[in-house]
Chain A
């Protein structure tokens, strides 16, 4: 497609601009500092798992700076049990997965590279059972599995490299990671490709079903969110960064077709579901 070829041309230009700057200080094959190595790995799309976790951890810490964990140990441990079990059904079962409920009335959920998954108290409050929780966490787990946010960061860094903003001048590695992700946790407010969201819906539904849950948990949550008025401030960030629930449900329905007909009913886990006090 024409537009994508244009993007590729841009990437090539960015790469050409970036590589000589690196080569001036150290051979490109052996970057002298871990920070440079990280940047090069990101630009080349070859981030190691350790580097991915380093980036995700910074984003997670910043997000927690915007909204801390809900002070409820039972809740946090419960969400980790369900989330870790759902994550075991995917392709990256051995990542160090972390799940947290953050103290915000916004209705949203977030993922960061390396296995960090957050759901707001506002969204958790609207859940009806464990299968719905599993579906929401499954959607975020899918983003991590598919490295959707790393791809977003890579696009950004190619642009930044063009302007010579980044590079070998930054001494502090943590500062470099912060530079990579932008300001604070703003990456959490940025939109992924819409197809990435639909893909995460399809995968989230299946991950929850594989874990033994009712496959209709995620669709039920999307339908529930659809009841919240579009002008409600609690969904403004979610609606800005995601396709609308009706579109997501339509796309899920098209993808499911008759494929769920033969699936044995799963658990809804309503008896175990931890309700907020």
Chain B
């Protein structure tokens, strides 16, 4: 919680605060573990999925891979990852595979892009909490930002020229809410 908001809190109010309200107010969440990426121990199936003969949901099913089963990632194409598992080679959905680095199958075939590249950071302004808290309003930069903004027609012209075809697709649903709808006139509780 920032000092700015800490001062006016009465003890009574502090006692009333629920844990998640405090978290939402910007208390640092639990620090990430100090260790870097876990050692590479091979990829595994994040969830059960069918191993198919090609990168296509209609391709022939070769086997069913169980959640947690070890696989070797060979390649990726669109939304599909080619893996070998239990003596067979085939394709599974890219989001079904967890890579050793803790990412998904995708992360393994997308090689780290900065390997061996030295990034100069000396003299570069950082963006930690202190920098952000101390930041002063910069009207000049804001006007520059305004100057780059596009209107709707310009964006549509760009898309046409690029051959970007809009398509309809509903949003993906999240997990079913685990809690009953709260009496929440301000819509604060998720």
Q: What is the chain B residue whose CB lies nearest that of A165?
A: B8
When the two chains form their complex, are residues A159 and B23 in contact, meaning their CB atoms are under 8 A apart? Answer: no
Partner of B47, one of A94, A105, A234, A253: A253
Closest Cβ of chain B to A4, distance in Å, is: 5
Interface residue stretch chosen among A21-29, A30-38, A76-84: A76-84
| B33 at the A interface (CB under 8 A) | yes
Q: Once A and B bind, how many residue pairs between them come within 8 Å at the CB atom?
A: 361
When the two chains form their complex, are residues B144 and A160 in contact, meaning their CB atoms are under 8 A apart? Answer: no
When the two chains form their complex, are residues A76 and B19 in contact, meaning their CB atoms are under 8 A apart? Answer: no
When the two chains form their complex, are residues A210 and B142 in contact, meaning their CB atoms are under 8 A apart? Answer: no
When the two chains form their complex, are residues B144 and A151 in contact, meaning their CB atoms are under 8 A apart? Answer: no
When the two chains form their complex, are residues B188 and A155 in contact, meaning their CB atoms are under 8 A apart? Answer: yes
When the two chains form their complex, are residues B133 and A189 in contact, meaning their CB atoms are under 8 A apart? Answer: yes
A residues less than 8 Å from B162 (CB atoms): 267, 269, 272
| B26 at the A interface (CB under 8 A) | yes
Query: Main SS of the interface on chain B?
Result: loop
Q: Once the chains are docked, how many angstroms separate the CA of A236 from the CA of B125?
A: 15
A residues less than 8 Å from B156 (CB atoms): 85, 88
Q: Once the chains are docked, how many angstroms separate the CA of A65 from the CA of B183?
A: 40
When the two chains form their complex, are residues A126 and B113 in contact, meaning their CB atoms are under 8 A apart? Answer: yes
| A227 at the B interface (CB under 8 A) | yes
Interface size bucket, B side? 35 or more
B residues less than 8 Å from A262 (CB atoms): 57
Closest Cβ of chain B to A58, distance in Å, is: 7
| A114 at the B interface (CB under 8 A) | no
- Show 16 A/B contacts (Cβ-Cβ < 8 Å), sorted by A: A7-B18, A45-B187, A62-B132, A62-B138, A65-B138, A65-B141, A97-B149, A103-B125, A159-B13, A163-B10, A183-B4, A183-B133, A189-B132, A195-B190, A224-B107, A224-B110
Give the interface of B toward A (CB within 8 A): 2, 4-5, 7-10, 13, 16-21, 23-26, 28-29, 31-37, 46-47, 57, 78-79, 93-96, 98-99, 101-104, 106-108, 110, 112-114, 119, 121, 124-129, 131-139, 141-142, 144-146, 148-152, 154-156, 158-159, 162-175, 179-180, 182-184, 186-190
Give the interface of A toward B (CB within 8 A): 1, 3-11, 13-14, 43-45, 57-58, 60-69, 73, 76-77, 79-82, 84-85, 87-89, 93-94, 96-100, 103-106, 108, 116, 120, 126, 128, 151-152, 154-156, 159-160, 162-165, 178, 182-186, 188-193, 195-196, 198-199, 202-203, 205-206, 209-216, 219-220, 222-224, 226-227, 229-231, 233-234, 236-237, 239-241, 244-246, 249-256, 258-265, 267, 269, 272
